[in-house]
Amino acid sequence: MGPIAAHKSGRRRDNDSGQCRVRSSRGGRQTTKLLQIMAVCLVALAVLSLGVVVSGCSNGSAASNGQTMVLSGAGATNTVTVSGSATVTSPPDEAVIVLTVENDGATAQAAMDATSTQSNDLLAKLKAAGIEDSAIQTSSITLYPVRNYDPATGKESLAGYRADNSVKITLKDAPTVAKVLAVGVDAGIKLVSGPDWRLKDDSKAATEALKQAVAHARAKAESLAAAAGVSIGDVVSVNEQAIQMPTPIYAASGGAQADAVKAVEPAVSAGTLDVTASVTVTYTLKH
């Protein structure tokens, strides 16, 4: 009985020992899962504590107005990004007119000869009106056949030839533009393009527009920062978005027919040109 009791007692200790080992293994897995959950929670809290994005709105969302303020946690850089634009109005100092001589002829040579004769007459009249040679430029000469289409037969036939000679004239004031248009009519010109008003040197207007656009962006940044209870600091970056310089074309009014004794100078107004600049600026923020 003694040995048997000793054997059973040892078996119970083995079972007890086995049960302790099983409990220890399960407890380890549970501890590992708990640590993993705690790690995920800590990461989530860290992400949430990194920063908050506050968008400034002005008649619309921040994205559509280009205004964004980033207030970050300790150790990070706080910034505000805004867009600015400005328009500078300037009177044009240059105008371009294109006068086109056009003639038809039974042959290519006849059409070209007629156009050349009329073009020489036009150039002579322009010089007599005080237009300098440096302001006159031949922009294009074309010669092409003219064909007639017969809908009854569905065929084309050669009707002759047409020759064009386009002369570009660059001028500096509205009164001279009116004079040139009258000269063109006197020379029998029937095709006129322009005047095309522009700025010979647009750098001054573009520079002023950029300065005003940056000032506009700064004013927006200051307003946005004040609304959030902070102030702006140094400029982080400045990006030029675009400089637009539209060139309006004013059609001349008045005038006379080509067969008149002398054409009346048409009324011409130069108007003004708008130079628009847009920028995007990023500032640091100070608490």
State the total domains in the chain.
Answer: 3
- CA distance linking residue 211 with residue 195, whole number of Å: 31
Q: What is the mean pLDDT of residues 173-190?
A: 89
Task: Let me know whether 17 and 156 are in one domain.
Answer: no
Assigned domain for 181 exists? yes
Q: What is the mean pLDDT of residues 175-201?
A: 89
Q: Tell me, what CATH number does 85's domain have?
A: 3.30.110.170
Task: Let me know whether 104 and 194 are in one domain.
Answer: yes
pLDDT tens-digit series, residues 88-138 = 998 888 999 999 999 999 999 999 999 999 999 999 999 999 999 999 999
- The boundaries of the domain holding residue 207 are 55-90+203-247+275-286
Q: What is the pLDDT of residue 131?
A: 94
Assigned domain for 187 exists? yes
17-21, 40-44, 267-271: lowest mean pLDDT where? 17-21
Task: Let me know whether 81 and 209 are in one domain.
Answer: yes
Task: Let me know whether 86 and 98 are in one domain.
Answer: no
Assigned domain for 256 exists? no
Whether 198 has a pLDDT exceeding 80, the answer reads: yes
Q: Return all residues near 149 (Cβ < 8 A) that are at least 6 apart.
A: 155, 156
Assigned domain for 269 exists? no
Task: Let me know whether 37 and 107 are in one domain.
Answer: no
- Give pTM, 2 decimals: 0.57
Q: Tell me, what CATH number does 168's domain have?
A: 3.30.70.2970
Task: Let me know whether 80 and 213 are in one domain.
Answer: yes
